[in-house]
Amino acid sequence: MGALAGIASVVQTQITQSVAPNSLMGFELTVLAAVVLGGTSMTGGKGTLFGVILGVILLAVVKNGLTLLGVPSYWHTVVTGLIIVCSISMTAINEKKQAAQGA
């Protein structure tokens, strides 16, 4: 994961043509949502890089759609939070079903 963070920092530096230690402050919720949408369990488990990339794409499409609809940016955060809650809930329900079938 450290290598991916390094690659991301190089890409960010190339895009902005500057280095600022706080340039990505506030993206924590978006990163968490992408990881959870990618299939990583919050209670421990494994996710895949492909799943996280799909999560990032889904979030980008949702945020772009909200922007095109003229939704205020405050609601983008609310929608991201709702996506996290729904994704974690679905993961928990699936884990309970698998545990019940395995027991």
For the stretch 24-76, pLDDT in tens is 677 777 888 888 888 777 767 677 788 888 888 998 999 999 999 999 988 98
pLDDT number for residue 1:
62
Answer positive or negative: Cα dihedral of 61, 67, 69, 73.
positive
CB atoms within 10 A of CB 55: 23
Report angle CA 27, 31, 37 to the nearest 5 degrees: 145
pLDDT number for residue 69:
95
Tell me which of 100 and 39 has the higher pLDDT: 100
